[in-house]
Amino acid sequence: MSRIIKHQVGDIEVIALTDGTGEFSNEQFPETKPDEIATLIAAAGHDTIKTNFNAFLIRTKDHLTLVDAGLRDLAGPSAGFLPDALAEAGVDNDDITRLFVTHMHPDHIAGAITPDGKAVFANAQLQLNEDERALWSDPSNFSGASEEAQNYQQLAQTVLDAFADRIAPFTGAADLGQGINVLPLPGHTVGHSGLRVSSGADQFIMAGDIVHAQTLQLANPNIGVVFDMDGGQAAEARKNMLDMLATDNIPFSGGHIQQPAIGRVAKSGDGYVYSSLTD
């Protein structure tokens, strides 16, 4: 099975990389009734809440940017295939000049370091939102939090330490050059960010984690996930993003869009429907 999908945006190449697959439990959507969850996943022809773990390559004239780095070995045998996806795309770790991190949850950063804490991408500058960097670099922000959250912080700190001499923080809607612009999407985390890729008349949006379970959250964008730090703000970012994607008919993907993981959304009642570009 192929772990990559290529998409051309003008003269910029975007490649979606599948790091793996997973499933969520009902408990990870605590404000949604089990009956609604069951109805929505049945309508999609599923019997579980399925998800993907995705990363992306963006190839411009002067840079090869990796967007997020996957789970490595943290989720067992169903994920951690980013090295295979990069190899299929013909990319060596040392080819990557920028590592853009949408946010510092483990499924987006674990693959940036080896199990002993060394940087995997020796030539890459680490780009992330400054508020995100500040949040995860201070253990006191997680004082009294769950053991899981504190483990998240320790992993994030290890990544920051591994790239300490080549971190390039940005703020807000930064212009990263050569047709790549940051889209602030706070709520999931304080500095959660996506990207808009533009070349000529073409656009593509990498929408981060606005959607974790598309069978639930596209049909009902009010459904939140337990991983959101600010559920209300995350819902607002999700609704605004989905409305823009549907209104402007922009191809997109995200950290958890299921394969084939590049497509479009269209309005359907109070929600949205997804169609891949290969449909």
pLDDT band at 75 (very low <50, low <70, confident <90, very high): confident
Residue 153, amino acid = Q
Residue 98: which domain range?
4-276
The DSSP H or E segment spanning 168 is: strand 167-170
Q: Looking at residue 97, what is its pLDDT?
A: 98
Residue that the structure tokens 């991408």 belong to: 121
Residues 161-199 pLDDT 10s: 999 999 999 999 999 999 999 999 999 999 999 999 999
For residue 261, give both structure tokens: 């993981």
DSSP-derived 3-state class of residue 278: coil
Residue 278: pLDDT band (50, 70, 90) is confident
* Mean pLDDT score across all residues of the chain: 97
The amino acid at residue 206 is: M
Residue 10 CA: distances (Å) to CA of 31, 112, 134, 279: 42, 29, 35, 21
- What does DSSP assign to residue 36? H
Residue 144 DSSP label:
T
CA 95-264-270 angle, to 5 degrees, is: 140
Q: Beta strand 98-100 with 125-129: parallel, antiparallel or unpaired?
A: parallel
- The size of the chain, in residues, is 279
Q: What's the CATH number where 134 sits?
A: 3.60.15.10
Residue 279, pLDDT above cutoff 70: no
pLDDT grade for 1, boundaries at 50, 70 and 90? confident
Phi, psi of 88 (to 5 degrees): -65, -35
**pTM, entire model:** 0.97
**Please, which pLDDT band fits residue 148 given cuts at 50, 70 and 90?**
very high
Number of structural domains (the chain) is: 1
Nearest to 164 by CA among 175, 156, 172, 152: 156
For 14-73, how does the pLDDT look when each residue is reduced to its tens digit (9 = 90+)? 999 999 999 999 999 999 999 999 999 999 999 999 999 999 999 999 999 999 999 999
